[in-house]
Structure 1
Amino acid sequence: MKTKNLLTALFIFLSNAVYAQSFYEMVFHFGGTKPSEISYIKAFYLLNDDGTGDMRISYTGATPGESFIIECGLKQGFGLDKEKNYDYSKMYYTGKDFIYVDRENKPAEFPPITFWFKYNEEYDQYDPWAVMSKDLKGNTLQGVIDELKLLEDKDFTKEFVLTYFTKDDEIYKNLFATNIRALTPEEKKSKMYFLVVADTDDEQIGPDCLKDKEKQLAYFKKIADKLEIGFIPSELSGKELNRNNLLQRIDAITPTKNDIVIFHYSGHGYSKNDNRQFPYLDLRYDKDIPVREGDEINMEDVYELIKNKPGRLNLVISDCCNWHLSMSNMQSANIANPRPSPVGLSLENMKALFMDPNRTSLLITAAQKGEVSAGNAVSGGIFSGQFRDALQKYMGINYQNITWEQITQNVRTQTVTVAGYSNCPRPENPQVIGACKQTPVYKLN
């Protein structure tokens, strides 16, 4: 009897739900009318909510010398309707340009593979739907999905992981080779101060800002709870929104040298004809009255106020436009995610970001000067979502030695990509509507 070839690939899906990652194991094949002619592929993929991903394929041959592991990056895309507009009911990830993991990263000849997902309206998620590839002539090959399993923590045994990874890979080290050190009693005395400022009563973007406020509060509380440190939230929204109240809220934050301070603004912002690259926050409750000097504050001024406090980690974040005052935040497409798995974050990665003894301060805003920001009432701002997604991605079990520079670069890159799925006025000509251009800017000290 002829022995079947067995191809094994690893697919990991990150989600911004309660858990950091979604893991699916999938068995599929292409062609073949006889069982002896079929090469089965056992799939296990890494997809991030930000539209990036990685794929590994481990070939198990008859002898150890015939076995190998190859990998490639994955790129997200969406279906198109007859008018060439995005059809968000269908999503896909394509992997190509494979390299050998265990052979000094040499190029590997392997056809591209595309995984399609169909939107499940009942659960607001994308479910695996189809697998395709191309032959040597470029013709599309329709694959057959034989098995599909949603993985959990208990599935990640050492034997299972080593099927797809080496002992040098971060996921193996995180699960089996890293001694997880609990926080010391002194570290557990640290507190996370979180001030969220949101223009929730605004007629145009109020629902978007409300969603940002709710999601940011819940997300950072989850991090504080995981670290077992205190969480001290404060908010400013609705009719209380003005410059004086904002300054009072900032002044009320009294961190020690071991504490964390996070400021998040969601609302209107604008730029002026000056040298400041970060936006002015529009703190008028009534947007029909002209802007007065006391109705605004620049994000850099907020940053300096917070950075001058003794906190160990300072994150100052704004999700707003950075264009002239007449421009408003744009409505973005609402894009769901694949189904998440009950697999937790890496505590060591979380500590690397939030418990690093070295003092760090980050100022980051949703759009560079001359651009609008986009969002919707279901997901909130694109930028705010990408910030959370970047944290989820790098605090997952497949990374080690993470830094805030990695987080900010990822937020910048993926905000640009995701914003392009929505339409906005073009910076070079506001009368022309096209793919949104939204490029976060930041400074890291």
Structure 2
Amino acid sequence: MKNHKKGFKTSYIWRILLFSFFLTLSAPVFSQSLYEIEFSASGVKYKGFLVYFNEEDAYMRIAYTYNDVYNVVNIDYTSTSGQEDGYNYFVMKGENPKFITSNSGSRVDRRSYNPDHFVWVWDEQTKGEMPFVTDDPNFSEESLKRVDSYKELKVSELTDEYLHRFYWDNEKEYLAFQNMRDNELDSHVAQEHYDNNTTQQQNQEANYGAAKMHLVMLVNSSIGDIGASCETDSRNMTKEFEDIAAALKVDFRKYEVKGSSFTKDNAMRVLNGLNPGSNDIVVFYYSGHGFRWADQTDAYPQMDIRASPYTKLSAETTLSVSSVYNLLDKKGARLNIVITDCCNSDIGINKMTETSFLAGRSYQTPHIEKLQKLFLATKGNMIVTSSSAGQVSWSNSVNGGFFTLSFLQAFHEEISYLKTQEPSWENILKKSHANTVNKTDTGCRNCTTQNPVFYTKISKR
């Protein structure tokens, strides 16, 4: 059906890309991002609607007309990304084609549909160029072709007419997109007419009581080797929890120890001075160096709180993750969340790599009720660190820690309108673990395996 796409001569970097692709297979990162891709082949025009959660969870509905018959096929996608010789690449590999429409009367052989694969290659000079498309699983040069268009979609563009191009009325995905769109529109109307949506806040407090969110950020942004990566983590996580607090209409308080103030004394001053209410939420996040003492049995690492490697490593410059967890547990907040992104190996240097991931610029409207269930309708404690005993944690300056990125992916997926299961922190942590393993095992050729460790004791109120 699409066996006659015209190609073009590819460069040396493209051949490197294909070699890298077949060595790795699977890895980058958006978060419930929606995209439209249009391409042509053999006189047939194709329109694709891409729903991307993470590197192992994405699908595309591709619509086209052939012999006057309208067809829609669903294709699953896994992805890989990386960097070679200054070029970045991102490959989406299609598989498991399944027709959504009935093709009775069509001469199209439903079993013969070749999944389409999409490839982006760019450097500083070629940012923004359209991706390539091919249905050749061997990626032959003559099969490669630029797509006609590629764009990220806004929720407001998901009209019923648009969705009907890809979904039946009774499909759960169709209903989920309608719900997402209508709730976003209702939210905008409420913002305009109800004084910053005080109605939601009043109803919420009637159901759950007034709550505050306390965010403690301990970030080694000044250290020479991983400082840029830690700063990326700090920016991403701060923005995430600020947005969550705003969406939930709860008071937000941030306590930050980073840069020139990055010392154990300052960290302990913040932690000891924290005085949450019995209905409050406390989130502790650390990004920096981590290690294990030679005789350590605790599964969670030591945080290395030194802004310079020339400072002596001692009890005055280290703090155990478990001690922070225990300290916060005694503070009496309703929900405590401890997240750390650092090595959990013998004293050494955190691992940096040039491998980068395509970080999503945005994710679609979160389901407020799911946020409420995670943050307001629960009680208990959670602790997670980015790697198991003896393992290092990987990062890069562009995306930050691979675990932090994986955690945000998993969280966004869990609060999506498109996921119908009951949201839970256990699901988020399990998915964060899977995403992290995938990035280090298949998305990064020079990385060693990284298995996050976590414990949850969170229940409904």
State the TM-score, normalized to the length of structure 2: 0.75
Give the distance between the partners of 1:245 and 1:305, measured in 2 at CA.
15
Q: Which moved more, 1:409-418 or 1:185-194?
A: 185-194
Aligned: 1:47 with 2:69: no
Give the distance between the partners of 1:73 and 1:252, measured in 2 at CA.
50
| Aligned residue runs from structure 1 range 12-411, under 5 A | 21-31=32-42, 38-48=43-53, 50=55, 52-57=57-62, 70-78=73-81, 88-99=87-98, 110-119=113-122, 121=124, 128-134=130-136, 141-142=143-144, 145-166=147-168, 167-170=170-173, 172-173=175-176, 175-176=178-179, 182-183=200-201, 184-186=203-205, 187=208, 189-272=210-293, 273-337=295-359, 343-355=364-376, 357-400=377-420, 401-411=422-432
Give the distance between the partners of 2:400 and 2:303, measured in 1 at CA.
18
Give the distance between the partners of 1:414 and 1:100, measured in 2 at CA.
29
**Higher relative strand content:** 1
Q: Report the secondary structure of 2:135's partner residue.
A: strand
What is the CA RMSD across the aligned residues, in angstroms?
3.6
Deviations 1:256-302 (A, max 9, x none): 23221110011111123332111111224553354333432321221
- Displacement of 1:102 in angstroms is 8.5
- Displacement of 1:347 in angstroms is 2.3
Q: Report the secondary structure of 2:225's partner residue.
A: coil
Distance 1:422 1:97, change over 3 A: closer
Equivalent AA in structure 2 for residue 350 of structure 1: L
Deviations 1:21-57 (A, max 9, x none): 54332332332xxxxxx44322111223556422234
Give the distance between the partners of 2:125 and 2:200, measured in 1 at CA.
40
Q: Which moved more, 1:283-292 or 1:228-237?
A: 283-292
Alignment check: 8 A CA contact 1:174 1:346 kept: no
For structure 2, the residue ranges without an aligned partner over 5 or more in a row are 1-27, 103-109, 187-198
Equivalent AA in structure 1 for residue 340 of structure 2: S
Give the distance between the partners of 1:201 and 1:149, measured in 2 at CA.
37
Distance 1:374 1:234, change over 3 A: same
- Displacement of 1:333 in angstroms is 2.7
Distance 1:383 1:15, change over 3 A: closer
- Displacement of 1:130 in angstroms is 1.6
Equivalent AA in structure 1 for residue 136 of structure 2: K
Paired position in structure 2 for 1:437: 449
Alignment check: 8 A CA contact 1:131 1:145 kept: yes
Distance 1:284 1:129, change over 3 A: closer
Give the distance between the partners of 1:152 and 1:339, measured in 2 at CA.
12
Q: Which moved more, 1:332-341 or 1:147-156?
A: 332-341
Q: Report the secondary structure of 1:364's partner residue.
A: strand
Give the distance between the partners of 2:397 and 2:415, measured in 1 at CA.
27
Give the distance between the partners of 1:24 and 1:406, measured in 2 at CA.
26
Equivalent AA in structure 1 for residue 378 of structure 2: N
Give the distance between the partners of 2:333 and 2:397, measured in 1 at CA.
33
Alignment check: 8 A CA contact 2:282 2:336 kept: yes
Give the distance between the partners of 2:278 and 2:150, measured in 1 at CA.
49
Distance 1:245 1:204, change over 3 A: same
Q: Report the secondary structure of 2:408's partner residue.
A: helix
Distance 1:336 1:253, change over 3 A: same
For structure 1, the residue ranges without an aligned partner over 5 or more in a row are 1-13, 32-37, 424-433
**Higher relative helix content:** 2
Number of residues of Structure 1 aligned to a counterpart in Structure 2 = 401
Alignment check: 8 A CA contact 1:332 1:374 kept: no
Distance 1:143 1:285, change over 3 A: closer
Give the distance between the partners of 2:318 and 2:163, measured in 1 at CA.
53
- Displacement of 1:195 in angstroms is 0.2
- Displacement of 1:249 in angstroms is 1.5
Distance 1:362 1:164, change over 3 A: farther
- Displacement of 1:325 in angstroms is 0.8
Give the distance between the partners of 1:281 and 1:349, measured in 2 at CA.
32
For residue 434 of structure 2, the aligned residue among 406, 409, 413 is 413
Give the distance between the partners of 1:292 and 1:137, measured in 2 at CA.
54
